[in-house]
């Protein structure tokens, strides 16, 4: 089994995960069942989309849990080790800037210049730090 595995589905019951594993094996997709607090069906990362399609076509009703994705990681500030962190609100900032720039550009009939200003602002938003520490104001990706 390759090292890059993706969870395609998860079940509360091991036998349901076994059925899904057999369906995938029958379709030529090597799958394993990994048991933690739930039974996760995992496949090679490259086969994940095809595995999802195969499982969606199965007529066997299985008690699938809502979230099969990996557990969310808890962000910790690298500067002060605080867990009091929040996601940056950079898209809200971009929206405000975009409305202001377009309003001014329409008022002075310079929408071509506004396009380049918005493109530069979008590049900033895409490269800006993603997390911010509430305690020490540090920012990181």
Q: Which domain holds residue 42?
A: 5-56
Q: Confirm whether 23 is domain-assigned.
A: yes
Q: Confirm whether 95 is domain-assigned.
A: yes
Q: Confirm whether 79 is domain-assigned.
A: no
Sites in the chain below the pLDDT cut of 50? 68-71
12 vs 29, 30, 123, CA distance in Å? 22, 21, 43
- Looking at the DSSP assignment, which residues form a beta bridge with residue 85? 133
| CA separation for the pair 39, 12 (Å, rounded) | 6
Q: How far from the centroid of its chain's Cα atoms is residue 30's Cα?
A: 24
Q: How confident is the model at residue 131, as a pLDDT?
A: 83
Q: How confident is the model at residue 2, as a pLDDT?
A: 59
DSSP 37-80: SSEEEEEEGGGHHHHHHHHHT--S---B-S--SPPPPPP--TTT
Domain count, the chain: 2
Q: Confirm whether 120 is domain-assigned.
A: yes
Q: How confident is the model at residue 132, as a pLDDT?
A: 84
Q: Are 85 and 45 in contact (CB under 8 A)?
A: no
Q: How confident is the model at residue 32, as a pLDDT?
A: 93
Q: How confident is the model at residue 64, as a pLDDT?
A: 59
Q: How confident is the model at residue 10, as a pLDDT?
A: 86
Q: How confident is the model at residue 55, as a pLDDT?
A: 86
- Do 89 and 134 share a domain, yes or no? yes
Which helix (DSSP H) or strand (DSSP E) does residue 88 occupy?
none
Q: How confident is the model at residue 65, as a pLDDT?
A: 57
Number of residues in the chain: 141
Residue 21 maps to which CATH number?
A: 3.30.70.1530
């Amino acid at each position: 089994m390759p090292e890059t595995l993706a969870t395609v589905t998860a079940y509360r019951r091991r036998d349901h995960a076994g059925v899904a594993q057999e369906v995938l094996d029958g379709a030529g997709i090597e799958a394993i069942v990994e048991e933690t607090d739930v039974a996760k069906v995992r496949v090679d990362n490259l086969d994940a989309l095809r595995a999802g399609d195969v499982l969606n076509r199965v007529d066997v009703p299985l008690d699938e849990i809502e979230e099969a994705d990996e557990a969310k990681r808890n962000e910790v500030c690298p500067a002060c080790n605080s867990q009091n962190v929040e996601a940056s609100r950079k898209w809200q900032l971009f929206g405000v800037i975009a409305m202001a720039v377009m309003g001014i550009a329409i008022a002075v009939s310079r929408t071509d210049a506004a396009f380049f200003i918005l493109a530069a602002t979008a590049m900033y938003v895409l490269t800006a730090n993603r997390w911010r520490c509430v305690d020490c104001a540090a920012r990181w990706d």
